[in-house]
């Protein structure tokens, strides 16, 4: 039986970072993997890249901003991170299906949680930050990497979330747009679903899994 569903934020409730990177790379005839690593570091790891440190809350965004822009400039691209993050709003997918699925599963008595690699400052903007795109009133547990000092794919952040929920790994599902983060959840015994460019398929897979194990 599934007792809890754990959600990533960026790439699930909003446009995917990998798609924003792909657009930027295409404009400059660059390798998207190279651009992604310059901005976000090797995302299948939890390391010492500047962005990883920001997401763990170890350094403020203003300290990291210039370093990340310099790393991308070394590839021959001049841009600001603000320009880059604005591309997330160019998402062609209808993501209301994600919020609708959250509400449906909540109505069935299934606990909902957030596990996000995020930046402290991104939850504190004048517009409400990422909280404004998530049905926060339905989330029993919210785990922000910058607040807890851990980030995906470190197994510790998944164990921490499950402990907060009081749910065993095999009774929880985790959804993320990054393969490595989903693989890490599966490694500790959770069910894992990768969210693609169109989230509808993943939502269908999630509901089918819940139905199957109910």
**Region 147-157: what's the mean pLDDT?**
98
Cis peptide before 163 (omega within 30 of 0): no
pLDDT tens per residue, range 34-57: 988 988 999 899 999 999 999 999
On whether both 66 and 44 belong to a single domain, the answer is yes
On whether both 111 and 208 belong to a single domain, the answer is yes
On whether both 207 and 131 belong to a single domain, the answer is yes
Report CA-CA distances (Å) from 85 to 3, 4, 113.
34, 30, 24
Nearest to 7 by CA among 204, 210, 203, 209: 203
Query: Residue 113 burial by CB count (10 A; 0-12/13-18/19+): exposed, middle or buried?
Result: buried
On whether both 115 and 200 belong to a single domain, the answer is yes
Residue 108 belongs to what domain range? 4-15+92-212
Residue ending a domain, among 31, 62, 90, is 90
CA distance 126 to 139: 22
On whether both 164 and 180 belong to a single domain, the answer is yes
Confidence of residue 162 (pLDDT cuts 50, 70, 90): very high
CA distance 33 to 155: 24
CA angle 48, 16, 99 (to 5 degrees): 120
CA angle 84, 85, 89 (to 5 degrees): 115
Number of domains in the chain: 2
**Region 7-35: what's the mean pLDDT?**
90
On whether both 118 and 193 belong to a single domain, the answer is yes
Lowest-confidence pick of 7-11, 25-29, 75-79, 149-153: 75-79
The CATH number that applies at residue 11 is 3.40.50.1000
Question: In the structure encoding, which two tokens stand for residue 204, read together?
Answer: 């269908």
**Does residue 184 surpass a pLDDT of 60?**
yes
pLDDT tens per residue, range 43-92: 899 999 999 999 999 999 988 888 888 888 898 877 777 777 777 667 88
* Mean pLDDT over each residue of the chain, to the nearest integer: 92
On whether both 33 and 72 belong to a single domain, the answer is yes
């Amino acid at each position: 039986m599934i007792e809890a569903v754990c959600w990533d934020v960026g790439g699930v409730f909003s446009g995917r970072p990998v798609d924003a990177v792909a657009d930027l790379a295409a404009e400059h005839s660059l390798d998207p993997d190279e651009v992604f690593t310059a901005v976000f570091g090797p995302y299948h790891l939890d390391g010492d890249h500047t962005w990883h440190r920001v997401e763990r809350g170890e350094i403020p965004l203003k300290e990291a901003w210039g370093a990340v822009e310099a790393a991308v400039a070394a590839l021959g691209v001049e841009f600001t991170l603000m320009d880059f993050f604005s591309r997330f709003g160019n998402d062609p997918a209808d993501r209301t299906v994600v919020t609708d699925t959250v509400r449906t599963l909540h109505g069935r008595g299934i606990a909902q949680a957030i596990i996000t690699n995020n930046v402290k400052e991104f939850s504190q903007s004048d517009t409400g930050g990422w909280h404004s795109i998530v049905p926060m009133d339905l989330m029993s547990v919210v785990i922000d990497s910058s607040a807890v000092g851990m980030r995906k794919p470190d197994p510790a952040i998944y164990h921490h979330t499950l402990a907060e929920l009081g749910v065993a790994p095999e009774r929880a599902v985790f959804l993320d747009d990054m393969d490595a983060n989903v693989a890490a959840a599966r490694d500790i015994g959770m069910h894992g679903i990768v969210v693609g460019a169109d989230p509808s398929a993943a939502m269908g897979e999630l509901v089918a899994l819940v139905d199957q194990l109910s």
